[in-house]
């Protein structure tokens, strides 16, 4: 495909940074947001980048976007999803919360709850929720990553000691056949232990996760009780949710 100079520069910036917002690109190239949206649409239709609400990203099936980039992506959508998840969690409940920027938003949304017991392998989640005196927060041991995630066999073994009311989980990608995907096999082993030891599993996934590729198989939508997202999935995903009897909550 022959690209216009601005489109090539957009592609180079997105590949370099992982994610760039429409506002940033419009300012950088001194054009309107509408012009940038047209460029992004053309690049996305050619499979050169991935279009998101408010920006564009370069997705890889073998490496996740950097944490700082993920934290800035779809922030308002994650907040809405987090509030919807928190609204379904009663006071005095026990919870698993795994790694991810969406689950960190959920942690903030839970701060108005009372007497929660939380087991997590996310240092950011532990830091947010430990501020509440009536919460009990247990942090799993293991190897600490730069994004605050704790992973490894010791982490999975710690999780397996518990049986909790709810697992509040995020995911990197959901394949078209309903497979839940992630990038790190150690993280996946911990998330699998979380799925297996919760009475109900709530999956929080913004619309960018539908159809996104990642190379490690975590599980299936069939293991999920409720899926929280911010917009209606396409018809194929909606059929899958119905087939697997997953309740859909649109934030």
pLDDT tier for residue 30 given thresholds of 50, 70 and 90: very high
Give the lowest-confidence range in 69-78, 88-97, 111-120, 182-191: 69-78
State mean pLDDT over 31-35.
92
Which pLDDT score, from 0 to 100, does residue 31 have? 93
Which pLDDT score, from 0 to 100, does residue 57 have? 74
The residues, ordered by sequence, that sit 6+ positions from 143 with a Cβ below 8 Å of its Cβ are 150, 151, 152, 155, 186
Which pLDDT score, from 0 to 100, does residue 67 have? 47
How many Cβ atoms sit within 10 Å of the Cβ of residue 45? Answer: 10
Q: Which CATH architecture has domain 5-58?
A: Orthogonal Bundle (1.10)
pLDDT tier for residue 217 given thresholds of 50, 70 and 90: confident
Which pLDDT score, from 0 to 100, does residue 110 have? 98
Fold of 71-250: Rossmann fold (3.40.50)
Boundaries of CATH 1.10.10.10 in the chain?
A: 5-58
pLDDT tier for residue 249 given thresholds of 50, 70 and 90: very high
Which pLDDT score, from 0 to 100, does residue 69 have? 60
Q: Would you state the structure tokens that stand for residue 104, as one six-digit string?
A: 């960190």
Mean pLDDT of the chain: 88
Which pLDDT score, from 0 to 100, does residue 59 have? 63
State mean pLDDT over 95-121.
96
Which pLDDT score, from 0 to 100, does residue 61 have? 44
Give the lowest-confidence range in 37-41, 74-78, 148-152, 164-168: 74-78
More confident residue, 236 or 126: 126
Q: Would you state the structure tokens that stand for residue 61, as one six-digit string?
A: 């099936």
State mean pLDDT over 217-241.
92
Share of the chain above pLDDT 90, in %: 59
Q: Is the pLDDT of residue 215 over 90?
A: no
The residues, ordered by sequence, that sit 6+ positions from 159 with a Cβ below 8 Å of its Cβ are 96, 119, 121, 140, 190, 193, 194, 197
Which pLDDT score, from 0 to 100, does residue 15 have? 76
User: Are 202 and 166 spatial neighbours (Cβ–Cβ below 8 Å)?
Assistant: yes
Digit-coded pLDDT (tens) for 62-73: 455 554 565 566
Boundaries of CATH 3.40.50.1360 in the chain?
A: 71-250
d(CA 186, CA 84): 29
User: Are 108 and 134 spatial neighbours (Cβ–Cβ below 8 Å)?
Assistant: no
198-204 sheet: strands from edge to edge = 136-139, 117-120, 94-97, 164-169, 198-204, 226-229, 247-250
Ranges of beta strands (E only) in 159-245 are 164-169, 173-174, 179-182, 198-204, 216-220, 226-229
pLDDT tier for residue 231 given thresholds of 50, 70 and 90: confident
């Amino acid at each position: 495909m022959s690209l216009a100079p601005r489109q090539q520069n957009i592609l180079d910036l997105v590949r370099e940074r992982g994610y760039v917002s429409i506002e940033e690109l419009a300012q950088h190239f001194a054009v309107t947001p509408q012009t940038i949206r047209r460029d992004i649409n053309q690049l996305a239709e050619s499979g050169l980048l991935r279009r998101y609400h408010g920006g564009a990203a370069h997705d890889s099936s073998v490496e996740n976007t950097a944490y700082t980039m993920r934290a800035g992506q779809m922030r308002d959508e994650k907040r809405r999803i987090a509030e919807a998840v928190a609204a379904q969690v009663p006071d005095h409940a026990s919870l698993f919360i795994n790694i991810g920027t969406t689950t960190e938003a959920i942690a903030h949304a839970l701060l108005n709850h009372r007497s929660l017991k939380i087991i997590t392998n996310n240092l950011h989640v532990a830091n947010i929720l430990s501020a509440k005196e009536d919460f009990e927060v247990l942090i799993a041991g293991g190897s600490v990553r730069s994004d605050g995630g704790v992973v490894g066999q010791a982490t999975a073994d710690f999780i397996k000691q518990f049986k909790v009311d709810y697992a509040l989980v995020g995911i990197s990608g959901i394949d078209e056949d309903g497979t839940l995907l992630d990038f790190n096999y150690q993280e996946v082993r911990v998330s699998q232990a979380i799925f297996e030891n919760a009475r109900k599993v709530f999956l929080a996934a913004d619309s960018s996760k539908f159809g996104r590729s990642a190379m490690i198989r975590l599980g299936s939508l069939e293991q999920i009780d409720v899926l929280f997202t911010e917009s209606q999935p396409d018809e194929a995903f909606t059929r899958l949710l119905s087939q697997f009897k997953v309740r859909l909550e649109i934030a």
